[in-house]
Structure 1
Amino acid sequence: MRFDEATSRRLAATYTTPDIVAQRAAIRAALHLLAGERVLDIGSGPGYLAREMAELVGPGGTVHGVDISEHMLAIARTTGPAPAGTSAPVEFSAGEANTLPFPDGSFDVVTVTQVYEYVAEVAAALTEARRVLRPGGRLLVLDTDWDSIVWRSGDPDRMRRVLTAWDQHLADPYLPRRLTGLLTEAGFETTHRSVLPLLNAGYRADTYSAGLIGFISAFVPGRDGLTAADVTAWADDLVTLGEDYFFSLNRYLFVATAQGN
């Protein structure tokens, strides 16, 4: 997908849904951040997680966010900082997962949320995350296995076609099932794995899946024989399900420790 200004703002809105607010809480709990730690957030998006982590590491720590989208960086930089003296400084800059603009061993913690499934060379990206972590530092990775999706539809065949086309926006729609081995090869020991289900029962506009409908509707027309009319009918069907609407999707959270050189 192209993260232009309109897409970036629409994506930022999904970060305020109860689903993703709860996801960030789970990430923070899994990290066990300590005062004074140095944190890097790869693919920092609108900056909500970076600023929340800055409050946890306190003024003695540091938080850096990197993102490939200048539009997302602009949004992150306008997110209100915590009151002075209670939070670590937060800096946002352009950067890619495979070429991080930091020296070796710069960080105690690296977080990567919904990023690696977009990266063609995940092994290289993990090696780069290992490079910027100190020995014993922690890496948290969260990605979706899109084979876990359950989405009620009045036309199941059309739903399958739409979701198959949607998979094309990712380098690997099923990445979590490979992550343990990839982490080991990159010099990490996996210490924690858990599943974070997203569940929306009954249609509501302020849910993750309601926002997802818009992204899919913009991406899939013209792919696998789907027309704009097909996709409009697909989206309209979902919205009109009302209380019978049902969506579930699993995201998988990994925490791993960087092994010594």
Structure 2
Amino acid sequence: MTSEATARGRAADGEPGWKGEPGDTSTLLGRPAVGYLDAAADTLAAVKREILHRLAPEPGRRLLDVGCGNGTDVLELAARVGPSGEVVGVDVNERAIEEARARGTGTGVPASFLTASAYALPFPDDHFDGVRAERMVQHLAEPAGAITELARVTKPGGRVLVADPDHGMWAPDLADRESTRTVLTWWFENIRNPWIGRRLSGLLRAAGLAEVQVKPMPVVLDGIAAADGLTGLSDAIRRAGEVGVLPPERVSALTGDIAEREADGGFLMYGVIILAEGRKEG
């Protein structure tokens, strides 16, 4: 983002145009985190299936989900490992942990939930067979420290899997390229690490993990409702106009373009979730 765009992204009184706090996961793109995660789950079903497959949640295994949100993925894993296994979900957001515990009540699966920081996990070294973190590292001030901590609590031979979007790769099908680039750059700069996807492989290697693999997972958002649910595109365009990132005529042009494409079923937005995994040696 240029310095001019940064200046135009602030309100006239000097307040930031975006009201959220970067890295604050109680809200995500200006929405309550719990509702946002529910809305995103169906869109990212293929990504979640791939992570589930790679974690190999067989009976008796001990698994950890860091940044577990509402706990849905933890409960799925716990159902797979059975009563002889254990799955723990941690999140810094106390409200999300409360919701996760409520969803787990009465399920009978071996799942537990704790409020904890990714930088200081309350577990001994070499404790889990596998650790996952999905769309969590993008919000952290110190991604390297968190991934080192994920590796610490993983057993030798165990796997660490981290999945995050690369927000520099979102591509809505819109005619005005300059305005589209401007609004997306401004919008995703409100995420602490908008390009974290492309850094994950290096971060896992720096944490001492071996056999690091990377798999880009395509995301196709078919229709503006899907795009808004995962990226907040319509809200981004509206807010960009309110704070002067885009002039009113360009806001109108973008929203009109979306409406026309949506009317004939032709609006699409593409993106990528980067899945990186590595094995702990020893």
TM-score of the aligned structures, taking structure 1 as reference length: 0.84
Which has the larger Rg?
A: 2
- Specify the code of the residue in structure 2 equivalent to 1:9: V
Structure-2 change in CA distance of 1:111 and 1:39 (3 Å): same
Give 1:78's aligned residue. Answer: 102
Give 1:56's aligned residue. Answer: 80
Give 1:249's aligned residue. Answer: 271
Given that 1:165 and 1:223 are in contact with CA atoms closer than 8 Å, whether structure 2 keeps it comes out as no
- Specify the code of the residue in structure 2 equivalent to 1:217: D
Structure-2 change in CA distance of 1:129 and 1:3 (3 Å): closer
Could you list the per-position Cα deviations for residues 68-126 of structure 1 after superposition, in whole angstroms to 9, with x for gaps in the alignment? Answer: 11222222222256753xx3x11111112111122222211110101112222121111
Could you list the per-position Cα deviations for residues 145-170 of structure 1 after superposition, in whole angstroms to 9, with x for gaps in the alignment? Answer: 22222111243322211111122122
State the alpha-carbon separation in 2 of the partners of residues 94 and 147 from structure 1.
31
Give 2:155's aligned residue. Answer: 134
Give 1:8's aligned residue. Answer: 33
State the alpha-carbon separation in 2 of the partners of residues 59 and 74 from structure 1.
23
The size of the alignment, in residue pairs, is 253
State the alpha-carbon separation in 2 of the partners of residues 228 and 41 from structure 1.
43
State the alpha-carbon separation in 2 of the partners of residues 3 and 235 from structure 1.
28
Give 1:217's aligned residue. Answer: 235
Deviates more, 1:215-224 or 1:162-171: 215-224
5 Å matches for 1:68-217?
68-80=92-104, 83-84=107-108, 87=109, 89-201=110-222, 203=223, 205=225, 207=226, 209-214=227-232, 217=235
CA root-mean-square deviation: 2.8
Structure-2 change in CA distance of 1:215 and 1:190 (3 Å): farther
Could you list the per-position Cα deviations for residues 185-212 of structure 1 after superposition, in whole angstroms to 9, with x for gaps in the alignment? Answer: 21101343211100123x163x3x2313
Residue 42 of structure 1, CA deviation: 0.5
- Specify the code of the residue in structure 2 equivalent to 1:245: F
Deviates more, 1:149-158 or 1:92-101: 149-158
Deviates more, 1:72-81 or 1:179-188: 72-81
Structure-2 change in CA distance of 1:193 and 1:4 (3 Å): closer
Corresponding residue to 1:34 among 33, 54, 58: 58
Structure-2 change in CA distance of 1:108 and 1:223 (3 Å): farther
Corresponding residue to 1:226 among 231, 235, 245: 245
- Specify the code of the residue in structure 1 equivalent to 2:258: L
Could you list the per-position Cα deviations for residues 223-252 of structure 1 after superposition, in whole angstroms to 9, with x for gaps in the alignment? Answer: 984279689755565355211201110111
Give 2:10's aligned residue. Answer: none
State the alpha-carbon separation in 2 of the partners of residues 250 and 144 from structure 1.
6
TM-score of the aligned structures, taking structure 2 as reference length: 0.79
Where structure 2 has 5 or more consecutive residues not aligned to the other structure, the ranges are: 1-19
Residue 139 of structure 1, CA deviation: 0.5
